[in-house]
Amino acid sequence: MKKSHNQQKRDLRWLASLFLAGSLSTILLAGCGDKPQAPEKDAKQSGKTEPASKGTTTSGQEKPEEKGAEKLLVLSAEETQKAGIKLQELELKERSGQIVVTATIQTNQDRLAHVGPRIPGRIVKVLANLGDKVKEGQSLAMLDSIELGEARSGYLQATSEAALAQANFERAQRLNADNIIPEKDYLRARAEHEKARAFLQATSDKLRMMGVDPEKLTGSVFPLTAPFAGTIIEKKAVLGELAQTDASLFTVTDLSVLWIETDLFEKDLGKVKVGAQASVTVSAYPDVVFNGRLTYISNTMNKETRTIKARVEVPNRDGRLKPEMFATAAINTTGRGAKALAVPEEAVLLLQGLPTVFVAERDGFEPRAVELGERAQGYVVLKSGVEAGESVVVSGAYALKARLLKSQIGDSD
- The arrangement of secondary structure in 98-108+255-332, i.e. its CATH architecture, is Beta Barrel (2.40)
In the predicted model, is pLDDT for residue 218 greater than 90?
A: no
In the predicted model, is pLDDT for residue 41 greater than 60?
A: no
359-363-367 Cα angle (round to 5): 25
* Count of CB atoms situated within 10 Å of the CB of 222: 27
Pairwise CA distance, residues 92 & 383, whole Å: 11
Please write the tens of the pLDDT for every residue from 264-315: 999 888 889 999 999 999 999 988 889 999 999 999 999 899 999 999 999 9
In the predicted model, is pLDDT for residue 21 greater than 70?
A: no
In the predicted model, is pLDDT for residue 94 greater than 90?
A: no
pTM above 0.95, yes or no: no
Please write the tens of the pLDDT for every residue from 112-131: 999 999 999 999 999 999 99
Lowest mean pLDDT segment, chosen from 97-101, 189-193, 269-273: 97-101
The whole-number pLDDT of residue 256 equals 94
Contacts of 134 (CB under 8 A, 6+ apart): 128, 140, 226, 229, 230, 231, 232, 252
Q: Which of 54-58, 90-94, 385-389 has the highest mean pLDDT?
A: 385-389
Lowest mean pLDDT segment, chosen from 218-232, 365-379, 385-399: 365-379
Cβ atoms of residues 397 and 411 within 8 Å = no
Pairwise CA distance, residues 174 & 356, whole Å: 101
Pairwise CA distance, residues 208 & 148, whole Å: 11
Q: Where are the domains of the chain?
A: 73-95+339-412, 98-108+255-332, 113-143+227-253, 146-219
The whole-number pLDDT of residue 95 equals 67
Per-residue pLDDT band for 361 (boundaries 50, 70, 90) equals: confident
Cβ atoms of residues 52 and 359 within 8 Å = no
Q: Please give the average per-residue pLDDT across 353-376, as a whole number.
A: 85
CA 244 to chain centre: 41
Angle formed by the axes of helices 183-209 and 146-177, nearest 10°: 160
Pairwise CA distance, residues 164 & 157, whole Å: 11
The Cα-based distances of 290 to 278, 312, 318 in angstroms read 8, 11, 11
What CATH class is the domain 146-219?
Answer: mainly alpha
- Mean pLDDT across the chain: 81
Beta strands in 47-195 (DSSP E): 73-74, 86-89, 93-94, 98-106, 112-115, 121-126, 133-134, 139-144
Task: Give the DSSP per-residue string, 106-141.
Answer: E--GGGEEEE--SS-EEEEEE---TT-EE-TT-EEE
Pairwise CA distance, residues 199 & 157, whole Å: 10
Q: Please give the average per-residue pLDDT across 48-52, as a whole number.
A: 40
Domain 113-143+227-253: assigned CATH number: 2.40.50.100
Domain 73-95+339-412: assigned CATH number: 2.40.420.20
Lowest mean pLDDT segment, chosen from 33-47, 71-85, 163-177, 348-362: 33-47
